[in-house]
Each structure stands twice: as C-alpha cells, then as structure tokens.
Amino acid sequence: METLKLESRPARANQQITVVIMEGELVVSSAASFESYLGEIIKQKEPKIVLNMEKVFDISGRGFGSLLTVLRETRNRDGDLKIVNVSAEIFEIFRILNFQDLFQMLKNEEVAVKAFDPSDRNFYNPPFKGVNVKSEGNLKR
C-alpha cells in the first residue's frame, strides 16, 4: 500500500524552481521512495525545491530523517528547500523536535518562490501566529 503520493512540476512564477506536492504520510514505508524521488530532483545544479505539505497528515521519525537527508543533499549542491502549507499539527511536531529553525516554512508557493530571490529585499515572512518560535514561517492555520 502506498502511503505517500508525490508529484512534481515547475513553479508557476519561476520555472527554475521545482514544486513537489506531497499527499499522505511520510513514514517508514514511504521514506526510501521519498528520498529516491527527491534525489532525482537534487541532481540538478543548485536545486531549488518547494515541498507542498498541504495534504501530509503524518510524519514519523524516519520521515523526519528523510527530510533532513534531502535538505542536506540539496544544500550540498548549493540549492535550497522550502516547505509550504504545513498544518498546525505537523508544525507542532517540527517544533517539538526543534526542527523549525532548520527548515524555512512558508505560507504558500508564491511566498516560497519569492524567498528564493535574494534581490527581493522587501521580502518579509512573519512567524507562524500562535506559536512562539524563531522560525521563518507564516504557516497555514
């Protein structure tokens, strides 16, 4: 049984950015396929990835390990990864694990695409309301 469905496409506002839509749960049974799928995208020079987690309802410890692996590999290739549309429940898990400062979590794809542009000096991403954290995230509530 497939626990995580993955689909990718170029970002609407910038074809150099890949949006990965995730649906389901990132757990032991789906972690290896997640890493493999993202590994193909990471092979690009300076990969820019937006993970849309709007339809993710669970992440296990192994799933968080996969997220860390993908983040490390992306940054090792001079790229970056942004996470968007995270539910309050999933964000709480990030916070409990103290991972909210490792990942840039943003409200939506449009905001994430702007965050990749270093010339946009007017970019401001307020923190997730209702949670006392330092992370750069205005998350879906």
Structure confidence by residue, pLDDT tens digits, 91-130: 999 999 988 889 999 999 999 999 998 776 555 454 444 3
Q: Residue 29's domain spans which residues?
A: 4-115
Q: Establish if 8 belongs to a structural domain.
A: yes
**91 lies in a domain?**
yes
**Model confidence, pTM:** 0.83
How far apart (Å, rounded) are the C-alpha atoms in residues 33 and 111? Answer: 27
Q: Does 129 reside within a domain? A: no
Our count of domains for the chain comes to 1
- Cα distances (Å, whole numbers) of residue 34 to 46, 63, 66, 74: 19, 9, 7, 14
In a domain, 131, yes or no: no
Does the residue 14 lie in any domain? yes
CATH code for position 10: 3.30.750.24
Tell me the residue type at 30: S
pLDDT digits (tens, 9 = 90+) for 15-44: 999 999 999 999 999 999 999 999 999 998
